[in-house]
Structure formats: C-alpha cells, structure tokens
C-alpha cells in the first residue's frame, strides 16, 4: 500500500494495517484505489455481467437469499432484488457508530471490495470512495449482527445511506436525510445493479474495524502500563532484582522479556540514577508483592495476546469475506463461508481476557499506594486524613471497573443461536465480542490512569528526592495537566486528564528517548530481534 505525503492512502485489498485503519477513522486522510485494484474489480464485474447475459442461475446474482436460495429471480427484477435485500437487512438497533468508527467501517469495506472477488462495479466503489473522502457517513446502529453471514445488519445500514435512504452525517451538514446530505456534497445516490447489494453487505467488516481500534488502543496502553508500574514500584521503594535479564532469559516468552526490559530501561541505576533508590538501598526488601514483582509475567502475556490478535485482525482486514466469491481468472463464482466471523470473534474475546489483567494487577498496585500499612505513605495519599479523603474513592472506581471487566470478559463467541430458518445454524456473535473488547480496553485505560495519578501523587511525598530521569519526565508530564493533591477537590477532571494523556500516548512519548539511550548502552531485548516484534512493540 502506497502513501502520498500522508494525505492519501491507496487501497489494494492486501496491505491495509490496523494503524492505517485507525488513522483513516480520524478523517484526516483520503483514499483511492491502486490501478491493480481497479483492474481486479473490473474483471470481477465482467464475470457477473456474463452470467446475466447468458441467463445462468447463480446464487446471489439471480436467486433469493438464505432459505430462498432456490427461488430464481427474473432479469427485469434483479435491481429490485438488490434494493430489497438492503432494505430488509437494515434491521439494526441502538445508538449509531461514531463518525470515526463509521469511517473505519466504510474504508474497510472498500478495501475488501478492492480485492476484486465481490463482483461489484467500479462505479459503485468510486461512489463509496467519494462518500468516504467527503465524510458522508451513514447512520449505522451498533447492535444487530450475529457475525455469521458477515455483519449483515450494520453493513446494510452503511449501504442504505449510500443509496440515499435513511440518515447520514457529515461535518458540513450534521445529521440529515441521506439524499440531502449527499446532494449537499454534490454526490448522487448509489443505484445498485445485480449482485451489488450482496457485495456491499456480506462480510466481517464491523467486527474487524472495531477490532482494529481495540488492538491499536490495547497496544498503546500496554506499553504505557509498564512505565506506570515502574513508577509505582519506585515510589513504593521496591527492588528491581526481579527484572534481571537472567531470570527472564530462562523463561523466554517474548512479552515477558519485553516488559522486563522496559522496566530495566527506566529503572536501571547504572544508566539512570534515582535518589529515592539510593537513599533506601540499605533497607531495600529482598522481594516485593506479586503485583510488583510479577509485572513482567502478567503484563507480558497481555503483550503476547495483542501480538496474536493483531495478526488475526490484520489478516481478516485484507481477506475476501463475502459470498459468493468471484474468481475472474477462471470465470468462476463459488459459494462458501468466508463471511463467518469466528476468527475475529475468538481473537477479540481473547484480547478482552488478556487485557483485563493489566487493569486487575493495576488495581492491586493502587491498593498498595493508598494503604499506609503497605506503602509507608499517608493514607490515601493525602495529608490531613479525615478532613481529606484523597484517593479513597478513586481506588473504588478502579475496583468497580475491574469488576465490570470480569463480566465483560465472558466470551461472546462460545454462544450461538440458529438464525435464518436454520440456514445460519452456527453464528459467531462477533459484533458483541468486538464491542465489549473495546469496553474492556477503555476500562483498562481508566484504571491505569488512576494508578498514574496515584503514583505521581506518591512521588510528592518523597520530595525533594528525585526518581530516575525518565520517570521524572512522566511526573512532569502529569503536573502539566494536574496539580498535586494538597487537599480534596473534584477528582473526576484529574482522572479524565490522566486518561487523555494515555489515549494520546504521551507517557510513552515522554520515556521513549530514554529507552533508546538504554538500548544504545545495553542492546535490544532478545524478543525484539525479529522485525515484526520490533515494529509491534518498539516503534515510536
């Protein structure tokens, strides 16, 4: 996939990344097709046109759908067939996807069509691209897909707006009737030809686009979780012995070794001096509680989970997932089951479970920060306790989020309800898997935002002593948006400000130059030797 000055991404159906898709969701980059993709789409459409001209009976082109697959539709009613398909399948409910997520959904559907196995016309894809580039976005309810014959309901709503039906939104018009929004941007509604309705609505793009966002956010917070935990270890006067490279070399899970390396990169006293560590070195504990000592093991498997899920989602993003599929090089149209959402559904259930542990162990560290019998700091990290409650209820919020995650981590994809008159008799429930994975990741971000606030507050009680330079950068970053907790005040804005720093990856950006210094002196972590690992875990 080529990029031109970061202003336009050329889609070819084969090389879109999760980071690309999230970037497209922000509406700052336009899309176009590669010449090869245009040729693939045209050749695929020619196969469909030949079938119609020869009066062949092929599922999805001139038959009914699902249980009605044995019903042959006359040539003069093929356009009506496709229109009826979209209308009837646009049966979703609930709040609409945000503009960002709708852009991702639309871009991903275009990328799949660019593979040239869907039988849609090039003109229809151009219409979709024009809608994306002007941010004319359909009203797509978030609920209604079982992730079996793809995400039929949400993708039908996506198609409905492009046809000038239902509602659309754009930055220029806000919400309005789809036809009016399109007209305001000089666009004509999409008029469906044979097979084009099915080509638009059959696929796993809602599961996968939401999954791409979940993966990218998970990657960002997992990186920063290590930095936050290191700061907590420091203010609790913990020992760094548990992060020694020899320990982790004999249990060579990539994520575990990566996290231990990150801890060393911001805590190694040979590279970065800490006045706090030096003062308390004579009384340093032999070992710490598991929430501190076992961070590489617990955080590590979360990192390995992200790597696994990212691979599944990246493959799914660049796969032909509709039905039937057109193979123009052989003139064939073949019905199959690539629309089944089990792959992304299972992967996103796994992501939720893996990411939950980052919040679970973080909540235990927050407890240690707030509990004076464990921290040797003022109760709830505030002076004049009693008059002030400090971080007492911030910790309760973290506990509440962790408890909610425990319910959300129940896998969606172990469930199945037979639909479509037992034709779709095994379904993935991938839409819910994706939506709740995103909720779990957001809760992880919020719990770690609370830990970051608490750790920075705990550092105030060690002053005038300083921690290591990279962790001082983190403290300075926090103090640029949140002042020290001298007495009780409205807590929520502080949590929101901390969460915003993490969403914007500011903590990672603050320490990354120091980690590079450490790398130059001690070399990379063994798990980062491969190019893929380096791109996943170490790029800025």
Calculate the dihedral angle through the C-alpha atoms of 145, 149, 155, 157, rounding to the nearest 10 degrees: -60
Q: Taking phi first (over 0 means left), then psi (-120 to 50 degrees means alpha), and beta for anything else, what does residue 6 get?
A: left
Task: Check: CB of residue 423 under 8 Å from CB of residue 67.
Answer: yes
Which one, of 77, 68, 78, lies nearest residue 48 by Cα? Answer: 78
Residue partners of 105: CB distance under 8 A and separation at least 6: 97, 140, 154, 155, 158, 205, 206, 209
| pLDDT of the residue at 281 | 79
Cis amide linkage into residue 157, ω under 30° from 0 = no
* Structure tokens that stand for 18 in this block: 């999760």
**pLDDT of res. 211:** 98
Q: Are 155 and 136 in contact (CB under 8 A)?
A: no
Q: Which long-range contacts (CB under 8 A, 24 or more apart) does 25-29 make?
A: 25/100, 25/101, 25/103, 25/104, 25/107, 25/209, 25/213, 26/100, 26/103, 27/99, 27/100, 27/103, 27/135, 27/171
- Per-residue pLDDT of 163-192, as tens digits, reads 999 999 999 999 999 999 999 999 999 999
- In terms of Cβ atoms closer than 10 Å to its own Cβ (0-12, 13-18, 19+), residue 278 is exposed
Say how far residue 465 (Cα) sits from the centre of its chain: 39
Structure tokens, 455: 């750790």
Neighbour count for residue 488 (Cβ, 10 Å): 14
Residue 318 token pair: 């660049």
Q: What is the pLDDT, as a whole number, of residue 283?
A: 75
| φ, ψ of residue 404 in degrees (nearest 5) | -65, -40
DSSP letter (8 states) at residue 7: T
Burial (CB count <10 Å: 0-12, 13-18, 19+), residue 532: exposed
Residue 72 Rama label (left phi>0; alpha psi -120 to 50; beta): beta
Helices (H), 196-294: 196-201, 205-235, 245-249, 254-267, 275-280, 290-293
Q: What is the pLDDT of residue 526?
A: 64
Give the global pTM. Answer: 0.94
Query: Is 514 a residue of the active site?
Result: no
User: What average pLDDT values come out for the chain (540 residues) when binned by 10 residues?
Assistant: 63 97 95 97 95 87 80 89 94 97 98 97 98 98 92 97 98 97 97 94 97 98 98 96 95 96 94 91 84 98 98 98 93 92 97 98 98 96 95 98 97 88 84 97 98 98 97 98 96 98 98 95 69 40
How high is the pLDDT of residue 210? Answer: 98
C-beta atoms surrounding 360 within 10 Å: 19
pLDDT confidence of residue 342: 95
């Amino acid at each position: 996939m080529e990029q031109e000055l970061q202003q336009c991404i050329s889609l070819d159906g084969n090389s879109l990344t999760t980071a690309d898709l999230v970037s497209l969701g922000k509406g700052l980059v336009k899309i176009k097709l590669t010449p090869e993709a245009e040729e693939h789409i045209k050749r695929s459409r020619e196969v469909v046109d030949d079938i119609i001209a020869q009066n062949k009976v092929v599922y999805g082109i001139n038959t009914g759908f699902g249980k009605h697959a044995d019903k042959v539709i006359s040539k003069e009613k093929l356009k009506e067939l496709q229109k009826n398909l979209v209308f009837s399948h646009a049966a979703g409910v609930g709040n609409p996807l945000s503009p960002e997520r709708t852009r991702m959904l639309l871009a991903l559907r275009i990328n799949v069509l660019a593979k040239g196995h869907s039988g849609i016309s090039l003109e229809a894809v151009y219409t979709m691209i024009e809608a994306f580039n002007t941010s004319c976005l359909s009203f797509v309810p978030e609920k209604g897909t079982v992730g079996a014959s793809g995400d039929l309901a949400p993708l039908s709503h996506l198609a409905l707006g492009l046809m000038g039906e239902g509602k659309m939104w754009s930055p220029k018009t806000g919400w309005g009737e789809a036809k009016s929004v399109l007209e305001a941007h000089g666009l004509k509604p999409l008029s469906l030809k044979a097979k084009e309705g099915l080509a638009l609505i059959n696929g796993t793009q809602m599961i996968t686009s939401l999954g791409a966002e979940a993966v990218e956010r998970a990657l960002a917070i997992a990186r920063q979780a290590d930095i936050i935990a290191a700061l907590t270890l420091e203010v609790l006067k913990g020992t760094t012995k548990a992060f020694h490279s020899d320990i982790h070399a004999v249990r060579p899970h990539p994520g575990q070794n990566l996290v231990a390396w990150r801890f060393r990169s911001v805590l190694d006293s040979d590279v970065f001096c800490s006045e706090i560590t030096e003062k308390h070195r004579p009384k340093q504990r032999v070992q710490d509680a598991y929430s501190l000592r076992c961070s590489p093991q617990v955080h590590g498997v979360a990192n390995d989970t992200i790597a696994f899920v990212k691979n599944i989602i990246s493959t799914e993003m660049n796969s032909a997932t509709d039905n039937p599929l057109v193979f123009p090089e052989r003139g064939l149209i073949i019905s199959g089951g690539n629309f089944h959402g089990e792959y992304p559904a299972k992967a996103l259930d796994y992501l939720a479970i893996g990411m939950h542990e980052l919040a679970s162990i973080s909540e235990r560290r927050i407890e240690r920060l707030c509990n004076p019998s464990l921290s040797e700091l003022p109760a709830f990290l505030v002076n004049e306790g009693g008059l002030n409650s400090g971080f007492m209820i911030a910790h309760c919020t973290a506990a509440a989020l962790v408890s909610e995650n425990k319910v959300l981590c129940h896998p969606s994809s172990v469930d199945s309800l037979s639909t479509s008159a037992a034709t779709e008799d095994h379904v993935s429930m991938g839409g819910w898997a994706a939506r709740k994975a995103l909720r779990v990741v957001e809760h992880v971000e919020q719990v770690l935002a609370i830990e970051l606030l608490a750790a920075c507050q705990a550092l105030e009680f060690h002053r005038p002593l300083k921690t290591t330079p990279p962790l001082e950068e983190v403290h300075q970053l926090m103090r640029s948006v949140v002042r020290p907790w001298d007495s009780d005040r409205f807590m929520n804005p502080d949590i929101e400000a901390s969460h915003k720093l993490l969403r914007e990856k500011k903590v990672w950006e603050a320490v990354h130059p120091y980690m590079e210094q450490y790398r130059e002196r001690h070399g990379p972590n063994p798990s980062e030797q491969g190019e893929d690992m380096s791109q996943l875990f170490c790029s800025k």
